[in-house]
Amino acid sequence: MAKSVLGLVGGSGIYDLPGLENAEWVGVDSPWGDPSDKVRIGYIDGLKVVFLPRHGRGHIYAPSDINYRANIDVLKRCGVTDLVSVSACGSLKEELAPGTFVLVDQFIDRTFARAKSFFGQGCVAHVSMAYPVSPKLVDCVEMAARAEDLSYRRGGTYLAMEGPQFSSLAESHLYRSWGCDVIGMTNMPEAKLAREAEICYTTVAMITDYDSWHPDHGEVDIQAILKVLHDNASNAQRLVARIARDLPREHEACPVGSDTALEFAIMTAPEARDPELVSKLDAIAGRVLKG
C-alpha cells in the first residue's frame, strides 16, 4: 500500500493551516496553468499534509475564476491520496443551522463556466460519479468531528451554483424542492476532477447562513456570514488536525473505487491519442496511460 498523504483545500475564511511542523510554502508547476496559490506542505504527527487555499491568500479568485484543474493537478503531483475540501456553504434545511458542518455525500452540478475535465478531444475518458466521496475518508472525518465535539451531520446533497451572486429567492426554493441540503459555489468541478485524478475526496460543508429562502433571515447578510466564517475556520483547523492524527498512515483501498476510477475509463485507442494532451496527463493519469 502507498503512504497516505492528506490534502486540504481551504475555502472562504481558510487561507492558512496553523500547526504544521516543518511547514513551507512551495510553488508547484502545472501544465494546466497556475493554481490558486502555492501549496503549504508540512507534517502533523508524522503525516505529510498539503494545504491549498482555494481562493488564494487574500481571497483573490472568485469561484468562476479558480483554475480547478491546476489545483487538483498540483495536489496530485504532491502525492495527495486523500483530499478533504472545506467549504463555506448556505443551508437549505431548517435543521442545518449556521455553524453546522455537513459531511456531503452527493452533488448536483449547476455550474456552466468552468473546465470540468482533464480529458477531451485526443484522449476521451468517462469516470463514474455515482459515489463521489470516499466513505472511509468520511469515516475519518466523522470520527474527528465527534472527537472535537463539533456540530455536524453525516450525509447531504450539495448544490453547486455558478455564482458569484447568491441565489434568487425563486432559485433557493427550487433547490429546496429538489431535496438539496446545502448550496455553494466551489465544489464542482473540484469533486469531478479529484475523481479523474484518482484522489479519494470528501467535502466538509461549513454552514454560514440560510441562503435566501428562510422567512426569518431573508437575504444573505454578509456581515453575519463573516462572523460565522471566523468561528467555522477555528473549528475547521481543529478538525483537520484531528483527521491528520487519526488517518491511517498506509492508504487503504477505497470501497467505491475513488483511487482506481480511471481503470477502464479511457476510451481513446492508444494510437489515436493526442501526444500533447497525454503529456499534460502525466500526473493525473500516468498510472493507466503508462500501463
Average pLDDT, the chain: 94
- What's the number of domains the chain is made of? 1
Q: Is the pLDDT of residue 6 over 90?
A: yes
Percentages helix, strand, coil for the chain (3-state, rounded to 5) are: 30, 25, 45
Residue 158 assigned to a binding site:
no
Residue 130 lies in a domain: yes
Q: Work out the number of other CB atoms within 10 angstroms of the CB of residue 32.
A: 21
Active-site residue identified among 37, 73, 211, 259: 211
CA distance 156 to 273: 38
CA distance 99 to 89: 10
Residue 175 assigned to a binding site:
no
179 dihedral zone (left: phi>0; alpha: psi -120 to 50; beta)? left
Q: Is the pLDDT of residue 82 over 60?
A: yes
Residue 54 assigned to a binding site:
yes
For residue range 186-231, what is the model confidence (pLDDT) as tens digits? 999 999 999 999 999 999 999 999 988 877 655 556 677 777 777 7
Percent of the chain scored above 70 by pLDDT?
Answer: 97
Q: Is the pLDDT of residue 63 over 90?
A: yes
Active site includes 211? yes
- Identify any residues that bridge with 41 across adjacent strands, giving them in sequence order: 24, 50
CA distance 21 to 41: 9
Residue 1 lies in a domain: no
Active site includes 282? no
Active-site residue identified among 73, 82, 109, 209: 209
Residue 270 lies in a domain: yes
Residue 88 assigned to a binding site:
yes
Residue that is written with C-alpha cell 465544489 in the block: 187
CATH (domain of 171):
3.40.50.1580
Please give the residue range of the domain that contains residue 99.
6-290
